[in-house]
Structure 1
Amino acid sequence: MHFIATEGKLDADKYENDPELEKIRKERNYSWMDIITICKDKLPNYEEKIKIFYEEHLHLDDEVRYILEGSGYFDVRDKEDKWIRIFMEKGDLITLPAGIYHRFTLDEKNYVKAMRLFVGEPVWTAYNRPADHFEARGQYVKFLAQSA
């Protein structure tokens, strides 16, 4: 997938047995899942992690996040390399394509609980900018040029 996809609202209160979420997971082959809670009391090395999440980076796989509680922002780069801020709150599901530069930050509530979804085993490696030499970045830039 080479674009940011938001699926509209899902019912985060019933994520454990939501047929809509199951349908999305089956269609996209999201076989692996975990839940992360980002707040001072629940996340070890909170301050360090927050800084890492906010450092501009890319991944070689899609990044899929489903917000179960709380809220925050994903910032992504547009075709002109300017930031676009995407507000994410309870019930939102987003797919950031492999190769897109992005970052994440909490809002003033300083709390989010999110499901992380992967195709196969998770790969947590983030490549801070500049990381233009990766094939995933090249494919994403090519897609942007074609959609211009």
Structure 2
Amino acid sequence: MRAYFMDDLPGDQRELHDSGRTVPDEMLDKLGVLRWHIPVDAEGKWQSEVDKIADARSYKNRDIVLNAKEGLGDTFEATMKRFYSEHMHEDEEIRYIIEGSGFFDVREFTTDEWVRLHLSAGDMIVLPAGIYHRFSLDMGNKSRTMRLFKDEPKWIAYNRSTDTDTNPFRLDYVKAVQGVAVGA
């Protein structure tokens, strides 16, 4: 996984949009973004490593989604547009990339700049509840991704608005980030 600040230049969301400013691990830690690299291997050893993380975080369910024209058909463009709208969730978002690649963009709390995380096969991330983020495929136009859930599989996005700014999960996230920033 590679993390950097996005540039503000117009263009296809699937392009790198690399500002040339790297984001250090310490900043991702402060934002609450957890990450691992678990190489995908033909023997399936990666599954036991993912299971260990899932067990430690009390994830009981999972599914695998194919984000690609071949997997989504006529809904591909609309789905990609929906995923790229800035939003938050009331639970963690945990993803393991099995094949392909894409971007998770998260808001840096103090500046509101986009931090772009370029994930490829073997990368796993956890985005905390309440963090503003979005997802896009890269120019490869494909990712096969395992999604993990504490309970039944669900994906409820709350698009950024004045209402989400006062959502209790957002407020808890802001307090947590401010606590890390003050103690750093």
Counterpart check, 1:143 vs 2:171 = no
**What is the match of residue 26 of structure 1?**
55
Residue number among 34, 37, 40 corresponding to 1:5 in the alignment: 34
Are residues 25 and 10 of structure 1, via their aligned partners in 2, closer, same or farther at CA, if it must alter by over 3 Å?
Answer: farther
Distance 1:16 1:59 in 2: 30
CA contact (8 A) 1:10 1:21 kept: no
RMSD between aligned residues = 1.6
Distance 1:35 1:100 in 2: 23
Deviation at 1:107, TM superposition (A): 0.5
| TM-score, reference length from structure 2 | 0.75
| TM-score, reference length from structure 1 | 0.93
Of all paired residues, the percent bearing the same amino acid is 44
Distance 1:106 1:53 in 2: 10
Superposition misfits of 4+ residues, deviation over 6 angstroms: none
Counterpart check, 1:39 vs 2:72 = no
Distance 1:133 1:12 in 2: 43
Structure 1 residue ranges without an equivalent (≥5): none
CA contact (8 A) 1:68 1:115 kept: yes
More helix by share: 2
**What is the match of residue 132 of structure 1?**
165
1:41 aligned counterpart, secondary structure: helix
Counterparts of 1:1-148 in structure 2, within 5 Å, are 3-11=32-40, 13-15=42-44, 18-44=47-73, 45-79=75-109, 80-130=111-161, 131-148=164-181
Aligned partner letter, 2:49: E
1:36 aligned counterpart, secondary structure: strand
CA contact (8 A) 2:38 2:46 kept: no
Aligned length: 147
